Amino acid sequence: MDTDLPQTYASGCPSRTVVDVLANKWVLYVLSVLNSSARPLRFTELRRHIEGVTQKSLTQALRNLERDGLISRTVYPTIPPRVEYARTDLGADIGRLTAEIADWSRSNARRILAARATYDAPESA
Domain spans of the chain? 7-120
pLDDT at residue 109 in the model? 96
* DSSP reduced 3-state for 88: coil
Q: What is the pLDDT of residue 116?
A: 95
The answer to whether domain 7-120 has CATH 2.10.70.10 is no
Contact 97, 121 (CB under 8 A): no
pLDDT (tens place) for every residue of the chain, 125 residues total: 455 556 777 788 888 888 888 889 999 999 999 998 999 999 999 999 999 999 999 999 999 999 999 999 999 999 988 999 999 999 998 888 888 888 899 999 999 999 999 999 987 54
- Whole-angstrom Cα distance, residue 87 to residue 41? 10
pTM of the model: 0.81
